[in-house]
Amino acid sequence: MKFLTFLLLFFILTASYSQTLYLDKISKVSKRTYRYKKTDTNKKLKLDFYRPKRVKGVLPLLIYVHGGGFSGGKRNDDNTVHFAKNMASRGYAVASISYRLTMKDLGFGCETRAKDKINAFNTVSKDISSAVNYLIKKKKKLKINISKIVLIGSSAGAETVLNLVYVKKNTMLPKDFKFAGVISMAGAISSLDDVTKESAIPTQLFHGTADELVPYNTAPHHYCKKTDVGYLLLHGSKAIANKLKKIAQPFYLYTIEEGDHSWSGRPMFQCIPEIIDFLYFDVLLKKGRQIELTI
């Protein structure tokens, strides 16, 4: 009778555990730091790797790219560490990466040449690709599922992850590789031409309609004038969602009425339920939903 009772409890706990994986906090988290790249200037680029301690087997991987106008920001500030641990405690592996700050001491406004802005997008896209290749090579040791890699970025990081997914012609990653999803917090891209049925992946977009730096719809970056050297037309979250809607591909648009650029970071602690929902249903279960929420 004791043995049968033990079996019953075991199956109940196992069933409960399987139901909460990826949705609820189920584990403490471990963290290790790795150097994934050495640049031409001998700068060492690192990533912090977070993993739940009590979850066995290969895990989906979230790669987080911080913001900072390509001139600042850190992979391990307090908000990023809290976010990474939160996600890892639910059953995800998380990598928060450093990258080259190509615009340090130069700025990223209307006085910065448009081609230098594009170069910043592409340079960081290359660094992300190097980090992805590093993680793919270590997939067995780190126990990650390389078919379930999701990019997450805020502000400059959001511009970069969207650029990597939908704009840049990437020759660094394996030919058969495709990201499982992307989450953008106040990001935009320079062209919608390559957002196609073939390139589309589940895409979650957070953006305030009054963002003064990165346009919510289609408008110049920083709202520069055409006469400014930094004039660069960008397509923000609304424009990307409209394109995905037009070609019948999944997206999750979270619009904040009169929201400013602070929403490039606020989803990391204010919208965890929405992020968890997107990752679980649209990335892992591939439900293919089209969701538009406005607050």
Concatenating the DSSP letter of every residue in the chain gives -HHHHHHHHHHHHHHHHHHHTTTS----EEEEEEEEEE-TT-PEEEEEEEEESS--S-EEEEEEE--STTT---TTSHHHHHHHHHHHTTT-EEEEE----TTTTT-SSTTS-HHHHHHHHHHHHHHHHHHHHHHHHTHHHHTEEEEEEEEEEETHHHHHHHHHHHTS---SS-TT---SEEEEES-EES-STT--TTT---EEEEEETT-SSS-SSEEEGGG--TTSTT--EEEEHHHHHHHHHHTT--EEEEEETT--GGGGTTHHHH-HHHHHHIIIIIIIS----EEEEE-
- Per-residue pLDDT at 12 exceeds 50: no
- Per-residue pLDDT at 1 exceeds 90: no
Residue 40 confidence class, pLDDT cut points 50, 70, 90: confident
Q: Tokens at residue 74, please?
A: 């850190």
- Per-residue pLDDT at 16 exceeds 60: no
The pLDDT of residue 105:
84
- Give me the mean pLDDT over the 179-187 stretch: 98
Return the exposure string of 83-93: e unless at least 16 CB atoms fall within 10 Å of the residue's CB, then b.
Answer: bbbbbbbbbbb
Q: Which region holds residue 185: left if phi is over 0, alpha if psi is between -120 and 50, else beta?
A: beta
Give residue-wise pLDDT tens across range 42-92: 689 999 999 999 899 999 999 999 999 999 999 999 999 999 999 999 999
Phi, psi at 198, each rounded to 5°: -75, -35
Give the separation between CA 104 and CA 126, rounded to whole angstroms.
18
Burial class (CB in 10 A: 0-12, 13-18, 19+), 127: buried
Burial class (CB in 10 A: 0-12, 13-18, 19+), 172: middle
- Give me the mean pLDDT over the 237-266 stretch: 98
Whether 215 and 184 have beta carbons less than 8 Å apart is answered as no
Mean pLDDT for the chain? 93
Q: Tokens at residue 63, please?
A: 């790669």
Give residue-wise pLDDT tens across range 258-293: 999 999 999 999 999 999 999 999 999 999 999 999
- Give me the mean pLDDT over the 137-160 stretch: 97
Half-sphere exposure of 106 (CA within 13 A, CB side): 15
Whether 89 and 26 have beta carbons less than 8 Å apart is answered as yes
Whether 80 and 68 have beta carbons less than 8 Å apart is answered as no
- Give me the mean pLDDT over the 95-120 stretch: 94
- Per-residue pLDDT at 171 exceeds 90: no
- Per-residue pLDDT at 131 exceeds 50: yes
The full set of domains in the chain, from first to last, is 2-294 (3.40.50.1820)
- Per-residue pLDDT at 18 exceeds 70: no
